[in-house]
Amino acid sequence: MVSIRTASQPSPDTSHRAPARPPAPDLRSVTVVGAGLAAAQTVAGLREHGFDGRVTVLGAEGVPPYDRPPLSKELLTRPEPVWLSEDIGVDVEKLADDVRLSSPATGLRPGVDGVVVATADGEHAADAVVLAVGSEPLRPAGWEAADVLHTAADAERLRSALRARPGLRLVVVGAGWIGAEIAGVAAGAGADVTVVEAAPSPLHRQLGADVGTHLEPWYTAAGVRLRTGAPVAAVRRDGVTLASGEDVPADLVLAAVGARPASRWLEGTLPLDARGSLHTGRDGSVPGQPRVWAVGDVASRTHPVFGTVPGGHWSAALHDPDTTARAMLGVEGGSHHAPYVFSQQLGHDLALLGLPAPDSPVLLRGAPGDGPWAALYLDPVADSADGVATVRAVLLVDSPRDVGGVRRLMNRGQALRLDLERATDPTVRLKTAVAG
């Protein structure tokens, strides 16, 4: 197996896995809807834990499973997708019985004894279904002229445009994870890049206003113009019009304003929330649907520490399918990893571990702009006394070697309580600040 993970993207943790047991006797066929990381890990988990029944995989892109993060982070350095068969050694075409990579699901009929998944080329009946449907980029109505970056085909189009036209004027709408990553890569390749963001700071929704403000200087240093507090009113092929009436010209416009689960085809069949997610148990089971399970982007799972965790975290697609496969087969064990997002943007490494609350108080560990630093997101409602508080999330900036240690602290299955005086001292190892 060839490993091509970056320093901030750790290998899967398999230390929790128990010996396989025979599968449940009434489960002899499973359909996995999706062909990304969560789907591949589901197939691998079923086989690893003893399932020898029929597995069908239904994909939509027409290509084998690959890892999405490198599409933006390594847009110009990796012309081919990071195939999961090589990256983590999971080859669904060898593990599954029927792999249809160009057969997107169009309908679902769940029942007490089984399920039927409809596709353009027919129906697929099985004893159970695992929904690993992934996500789709948001593109507001009227933004059809904007490109997006979500698939390997999207990446190839953007890569070709940047290479074919040196100095290309690129307007990126959105200063989130993807927008920042693409802006840095494109500017580094000689493009003339402007990022427009409706919020008052980069990564405002993900990191909060105070922390996001500390990222603003990165754009200037990378040669990118950043316009915050600048909502877009209209998108054209040759630029965007801001709500202020100002025009920003472009040769290419990229919409990077978020994503939602690719679950529209399930509307009216399963209880989707406003975002398009399914609220599941800790094992991915869908309440009231004994034959339906969900993993990855579509699953908002119950976590013993963080409560409801929405999908979209890379770590969930990597780790949660093992817990789901165990539950489907009646195999004990499994684990519940803290949410984890990593990013390489504008010459910096970021790793967010845990789940900040919208109103989390934030304490800094180290000084932004002066070497590595971190932000500690405190629980806004947990009791704190004697300088000790519950930490819901940790953002590490330019500290890739600290990611593993913080992940272990966040993955213990209990709330992380830190002595704040020690925790905010960058000369003190964070693990020594754990209280109790």
DSSP for residue 10: P
- β-pairing, 115-119 vs 105-110, is antiparallel
Q: By mean pLDDT, which of 196-210, 320-334, 378-392 is the weakest?
A: 378-392
Contact 124, 117 (CB under 8 A): yes
Stretch 8-16: mean pLDDT, rounded? Answer: 37
| 4 confidence band (pLDDT: 50, 70, 90) | very low
Q: What's residue 13's pLDDT? A: 39
Q: Is the pLDDT of residue 264 over 80?
A: yes
102 C-beta neighbours (distance < 10 Å), count = 14
Structural domains of the chain in order of their starting residue, each with its CATH number: 29-135+259-329 (3.50.50.60), 139-255 (3.50.50.60), 349-433 (3.30.390.30)
Tens of pLDDT, residue by residue over 78-90, are 989 999 999 999 9
Stretch 102-111: mean pLDDT, rounded? Answer: 96
Q: Among residues 69, 82, 221, 250, which one has the least CA distance to residue 150? A: 69
Q: Is the pLDDT of residue 319 over 70?
A: yes
Q: Among residues 339, 276, 351, 341, which one has the least CA distance to residue 308? A: 339
Mean pLDDT of the chain: 91
Listing from the earlier edge strand, what are the strands of the sheet with 169-173? 225-227, 192-196, 169-173, 252-255
Q: What's residue 312's pLDDT? A: 86
Higher-confidence residue: 270 or 358? 270
Q: Is the pLDDT of residue 379 over 80?
A: yes
Q: Is the pLDDT of residue 97 over 60?
A: yes
Question: What pTM was estimated for this model as a whole?
Answer: 0.90
Q: By mean pLDDT, which of 20-24, 43-47, 218-222, 352-356 is the weakest?
A: 20-24
Structure tokens at 206: 């993900």
Q: By mean pLDDT, which of 13-22, 159-168, 408-417 is the weakest?
A: 13-22
Q: What's residue 25's pLDDT? A: 54
Contact 389, 379 (CB under 8 A): yes
CA 159/CA 169 separation, integer angstroms: 14
Tens of pLDDT, residue by residue over 114-157, are 999 999 999 999 999 999 999 999 999 999 999 999 999 999 99
